Amino acid sequence: MILRLAALLAFLLPAAAQNTIHRDWAADPAVVQIDPPGDIYAIGDVHGDSDRLLRLLRAARLVDGDPRLPAGHWTAGNAVVVFTGDMVDKGPHSVGTIQLIRALRDAGRKQGGQVVILMGNHEAEFLANPDAGKSEDFLADLKAAGLNAHDVAACRGDLGEFLCRLPFAARVGDWFFSHAGNSGGRKMDQLIADLRKGVDQDGFATAQLQDANSLLEARLGGKGPGGRPWFEADSPRRSGEQLLADYASALGVAHLVEGHQHDGVRFQDGAERQAGQMMQLYGRIFFIDTGMSRGVGDSGGAVLHIRRQGAPQAEAICPSGMTTVIWDTGAHAKLGAAAVCPAQD
């Protein structure tokens, strides 16, 4: 009788409510924290385009082949590579993209490097409810791979366990990486506590991940109070530049890096970003979603390379190998941007 009642409740409850996570936060922290010895690289939303990702990895000299094959291996020494989420959907090969990124992580470990893979809103929304509609491309790719989407979303099997254990942000030295950037001005300990409590209580449907102004969902287009982007001036007394400085200071870092937003946007102070462009404002916030997937089509993608030896600087690397410095400690320009990188396919 008890078993039949449990089965009936499981049938009646919505998918999101069934997915209560039992996560070992010590083994799989909400926020990864690393003090790296070498350079840092970051790649934004890949969205299922493993071909373009592999081309970028080679252009940035992170690998000299395909890490999924015996002939391909890590060539970046002790560097840290961060993926800021949204590996899936929109592009042709969501499962293949995850396989490539995981193979890169394994290759890096063998050579003294590290690959940090963060959760994006597309992964979180799939895990919260695979039937919600946004994950159609991922669902089709899972089916083609012989995988049951509901099993994966319930954290079962190798792929399900991998997705459910992804961190939501990373502090690498004095750089903070997340999918959509908005920490809400919280200190690191409070941010971690809120993320853990939210997931423990509500699974991946937690407002900490799904709210319009959350760490994974906040938009440059402005879903904040009054329709403003989360990082622009919130009062006559605090400019956008000061807000970003306050948010970074609360986290114990100097710079914030986010993916999530590939579109063009005009900022409050008149600065403009072209769709697919890698850029930074005030040396505080770096936007690295370049719409690289063929399912989006803004660019061929770009890698953010943060050089830490000597005078720190950040550059964008195109799939052609062309590099553009968008920030360095000696420059005081409000904005730094690279030209949109053309596709090489």
What pLDDT does residue 13 have? 37
Collapsing DSSP states into helix, strand and coil, what is residue 175? strand
* Residues in the chain, overall count: 345
What pLDDT does residue 310 have? 81
Collapsing DSSP states into helix, strand and coil, what is residue 47? coil
- Sign of the torsion angle spanned by Cα atoms 204, 114, 98, 51: positive
What pLDDT does residue 17 have? 39
CA 203 to chain centre: 19
Homologous superfamily (CATH) for 25-337: Metallo-dependent phosphatases (3.60.21.10)
Position 320: which residue type?
Answer: S
Q: How far apart are CA 88 and CA 103, in angstroms?
A: 16
b or e along 248-267 (b: 16 or more beta carbons within 10 Å of the residue's beta carbon)?
Answer: bebbebebbbbbbbbeebeb
Structure-block tokens of residue 25: 């936060």
What pLDDT does residue 15 have? 42
Structure-block tokens of residue 23: 């996560």
What pLDDT does residue 226 have? 53
Question: How many contiguous H segments (helices) and E segments (strands) does the chain have?
Answer: 11, 15
Q: Could you state, in chain order, the average pLDDT of each consecutive group of 10 residues for the chain (345 residues)? A: 37 42 91 95 98 97 93 92 97 94 96 97 96 88 95 96 97 97 97 97 95 90 62 82 95 97 82 91 95 96 93 95 92 86 91
What pLDDT does residue 76 have? 96
Domain ranges of the chain: 25-337
Q: How far apart are CA 145 and CA 93, in angstroms?
A: 10
Collapsing DSSP states into helix, strand and coil, what is residue 86? coil
What pLDDT does residue 266 have? 79
